[in-house]
């Protein structure tokens, strides 16, 4: 019996998991999405839908994420990962 045929489903599952992980990583490091979140956050603050305290907490996380994305992009441009 051909072992390749028996392991095919396993390799297929691995590929599916790799694809899911790649898509999640792309979404997590989507600079435009983070900028849109920041814009929405500022809109909510200005309209009074969000307190300054809640705004500050959320803004810090988004700004840190944006800095991480920008650093990652710089490393990728230099050829690193």
Residue pLDDT, tens place only, 30-39: 999 999 999 9
More confident residue, 57 or 3: 57
Paired tokens of 11:
């390799």
Phi-psi region of 6 (alpha: psi -120 to 50; beta: other; left: phi over 0): alpha
pTM above threshold 0.75: no
What pLDDT, on the 0 to 100 scale, is given for residue 2? 57
Tell me: the pLDDT tens digits for 27-62? 888 999 999 999 999 999 999 999 999 999 999 999
């Amino acid at each position: 019996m051909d072992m390749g045929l028996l392991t095919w489903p396993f390799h297929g599952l691995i590929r599916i998991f790799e694809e899911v992980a790649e898509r999640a990583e792309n979404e997590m490091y989507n600079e435009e999405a983070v900028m849109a979140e920041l814009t929405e956050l500022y809109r909510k603050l200005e309209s009074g839908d969000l307190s300054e305290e809640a705004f500050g907490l959320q803004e810090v996380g988004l700004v840190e994420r944006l800095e991480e994305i920008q650093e990652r992009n710089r490393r990728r441009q230099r050829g690193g990962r």
